[in-house]
Amino acid sequence: MVCMEKTLLEYGVVGAILLYFLWKDSKTFEIYRTTMQKIVDQLEAMQKDQSELKKDMEEIKKFIK
């Protein structure tokens, strides 16, 4: 809150509004970053599963021949 008071004293309401939007934007970016990391983790897991399935299919083909 000290930062907000200092901003109000030096820049007025406009500065406080700008500070609020900068804070809000940083929270939005953090949510975006977290979400993107979850998506990347899921894609990596899917690729791992896919490569394991390919190996299993190759082994099954060997038994069929």
Please name the residues in contact with 18: beta carbons below 8 A apart, sequence gap of 6 or more. 11
Domain ranges of the chain: 1-64
pLDDT of residue 33: 82
Rounded alpha-carbon distances, angstroms, from residue 8 to 4, 14, 22: 6, 8, 15
Give yes or no for residue 44 having a pLDDT over 90.
yes
pLDDT of residue 45: 93
Q: Give residue-wise pLDDT tens across range 17-27.
A: 777 888 787 77
Give yes or no for a contact between 8 and 15, defined as CB atoms under 8 angstroms apart: yes
Query: In the chain, what's the furthest Cα-to-Cα distance?
Result: 82
Query: Distance between CA atoms of 34 and 40, rounded to whole angstroms?
Result: 10
